[in-house]
Amino acid sequence: MAEHHPLGDIEYLRETLLRSYRAGFPIIKELIQNAEDANSTHLDFGWTKGLDHAEHPLLKSPALFFIDNGDFSDNNAKSIRYIIGGSSKPNQEGAIGKFGLGLKSVFHLCEAFFYLSPELEKSKYERCSIFNPWAGAGGKDEFHVGWDNFSKQDQEKIRAHLKPILDKKVYEDKWFILWIPLRQAEHKAAHDEYENDGTGLDYIVRDSFPDVPTFLAEDSIQYQIALLLPLLGHLSNICFWEGDDEKFQINLCNAKRQKFANLVENKENFIHGNISLKQDNIINYSGHEIILTQQCFDEIINSPDLPKKFKNIKPHCGVVFGTITYPLFNQSIKDRESTLSIRTSVFLPIGEDICIPCKSDKSYLLLLHGYFFVDSGRTEILGLDKETLIFKPLLSNDTKDDLLKKNWNKQLYETLLNRILYALNKFVYDLKISGNVVSVICDALLKSNLFQQKQNIKIICKDKQWVYRIKPNVNEWVLLDIQQKILIIPRPSQEVYEKLWQCFPGLIDISQSTCLSLFNTPNLTPNKDGDRWTDDEIIKVLKSVEAKDIFENRNYLEYITSFLKQNPHCIEQVQNSLCLLTKQALCSLDHQTVIQNKFSIQSFVKLINSQNLLSIDCNNFQIKRQLYILNLEILIIPQDLNITSTNAQIKYRDAEYLFIFIAGLLIKTNQVSEVTSLTKQILKVAAQHINQFRGENVDLKFIIGFNCQNNQYELFSLRQLDHTKSSQRLFKGEQANQFVNGLKDALLDSNIVLINSEIADLIYGSQSINTCNHKSCLELLKLIPKLNYSDKRSNLLGRLLPYV
């Protein structure tokens, strides 16, 4: 019984404990914690409408009961006796509640509670009693009628009421019952002499519960309870009752976890298991735990500023991942939004989970456990900002005790973060999680502050990184050393994906020594864009492809284009490879394919420096094909691609090859316009080399012109044209006019040549060559050429007389 003035206890409960501790499910969590600390394997709890024929008034009220098969020692009985003053757990190694509130939390629900357990020989304390904070000296309650005594008859009535549960084999040897009469209006305290003292202490708190508490009626309660089990070392079965009906039963199956007391320091211990509800497997989990041996923790434990009650704490931490499946029989649960819940815990949850939505038919859990120092309400880890998941700066008013606890937490938290990827790897391979599900989990993790905060990423990925690796025979999520190079390639369409290694065989060699991953994959790495591709690696890929196969299929071509655009830093250095690949393709593709894939080819070719491109307008496909084959440094491309090449810079060697190519063309009547057009286009970019060409290839016949003497088109050399020009017989034009015909008749030597005006201007300048008119004819006659017979000269004379 409480042994000091009761109103002090009531005020303490109202003003101190309950203000810092939430009602509802956290109370259930604390009582589950107590059952775990008592080494219970089974816990039955539920709601009952009360005992109609009980003697004690509180037993007639609706109540919650808790039954476990744990140990209830004399020391436990003592701790209940002095529950308001403190806990017996602080020096108990491995006790979850050593930093918590335990049974004190039930006063959210009641004004007093009962507890029962089998008699223990030579016990110093009562094992079946009522804890009533309203009772003063001698156990006398002056505020409630009939609350002082818990009779043997009432004790037997509770046991009889709970007999269907107590008859379970698990309760054959030991059991502990906690009976919590839910607060009702009639439980109000009578003030008597205190009525006018201003305290208003008529209830501990004012919430009443005429029916089943709402937090127990929620559909999700069974999942909330089930998610408490993975890090518990003893509890494996929890049942909830409503009246005589078992509403749900949660079972922990195939569980592997070492008891805390048996853990070996600095040795990793694996955790796994599954949890079922109504025989449906709802949770599968896997992870690991470890007790660390690091000097920083020893220094804190040995510090004289750390309270003695914490000297037995261990730097214990664990990381667990789990999947949560909502069964079909519960539609309201099944339709809830899927999330990844990140939970910080000291065995049991601390505060609220951080939930990140994810697109899946399941939900997922990341449980981060550490033997942390927490606040009085078990809602926060000291020093940790729950929203950002990083440690807050130390405060100027922190005591030495505070500083030690926060430093402990920070060191433990950083170790915990560093173990996340190891646990994820184990979870994925233990539970055979599919690649798609792993992507969902990783995507949610990346959206959380675990990965949004750079300082967290630095710790998480200090040694390892988690990457989706693609290889010719297998694609899988892998845990890699942080030094492993990761190269990202664009995410291909299904068609490209199926032929990726055949179409781009250079990737095979690269994948043997380097990790290849796909763009926009939620890899857990310090650098989401991966490492830089080198020029040599890009060139290896480009050289490995069959140009025709790539350019024939627009999907393949668009893929390699996106690959190159993803690595803009390399594009300038791989120009030769780009030109070669394009040239090979143009040499092998038919015109129709080029037109069909025009925009895809255009996008690829635009990656090439425009100075290296020469766009040619030519309707003769055979001529174009021969041009593509030429061994040029500049890349010839069809004008159909609509890529301008006005700033093309052609070297003398390329110009020479092109002029030689034109010289070798067999001129047919239907090719004159093609050859003329081709000559103009080449001269436009190679005009600066004409003088050098005069010195080295003056006799090469590559300029198309009309030989008036033979009345046909021919190819002329620069020497021929220069000689014809010097004799004033070279004119602009492509067809003979009346002056040309007059000259042809009048001159004994009728070697007159007409060349295209643009070609003439490109070779000689715009003022050097004139058209054949009266002025140019008179200029020619001034040279006193040998004339033909008089009757042959009359035509020309008639044309010139009007101008003389």
Q: What is the pLDDT of residue 61?
A: 95
Cα–Cα–Cα angle for 327, 329, 23, rounded to 5 degrees: 75
Q: What is the pLDDT of residue 19?
A: 67
Q: What is the pLDDT of residue 127?
A: 87
d(CA 444, CA 716): 74
753 in Cβ contact with 733 (< 8 Å): no
- Judged by DSSP in three states, 81 sits in helix
- Kindly state the tokens that stand for 52: 């109609």
pTM: 0.83
List the domain boundaries for the chain: 1-217, 532-645, 650-804
Q: What is the pLDDT of residue 333?
A: 52
- Kindly state the tokens that stand for 354: 């951080």
d(CA 411, CA 408): 5
Q: What is the pLDDT of residue 475?
A: 94
Q: What is the pLDDT of residue 242?
A: 93
Question: SS3 for 231-272, per residue?
Answer: CCCCCCEEEEEECCEEEEEEEEEEEECCCHHHCCECCCEEEE
- Kindly state the tokens that stand for 650: 């052609």
Q: In sequence order, what are the residues at sequence separation of 6 or more whose Cβ sits closer than 8 angstroms to the Cβ of residue 583? A: 628, 635, 636
Q: In sequence order, what are the residues at sequence separation of 6 or more whose Cβ sits closer than 8 angstroms to the Cβ of residue 708? A: 736, 740, 744, 750, 751, 752, 753, 754
Q: What is the pLDDT of residue 409?
A: 95
d(CA 589, CA 641): 14
Residue with tokens 């927490």: 374
Q: What is the pLDDT of residue 22?
A: 75
112 in Cβ contact with 150 (< 8 Å): no
Distances (CA, A) of 57 to 6, 65, 146, 792: 20, 16, 7, 147
How many angstroms separate the most distant Cα atoms in the chain? 158
Question: SS3 for 396-417, per residue?
Answer: CCCCHHHHHHHHHHHHHHHHHH
pLDDT along the chain (804 residues), means of 10: 68 73 84 91 96 94 96 81 51 37 83 92 83 84 91 96 95 95 92 55 88 88 91 92 92 83 87 89 93 92 90 92 75 69 90 91 94 85 90 87 94 96 96 95 95 93 97 95 96 93 96 95 94 96 96 96 94 93 94 93 94 90 91 92 83 94 86 92 91 92 93 94 93 89 87 94 89 90 87 85 82
525 in Cβ contact with 486 (< 8 Å): yes
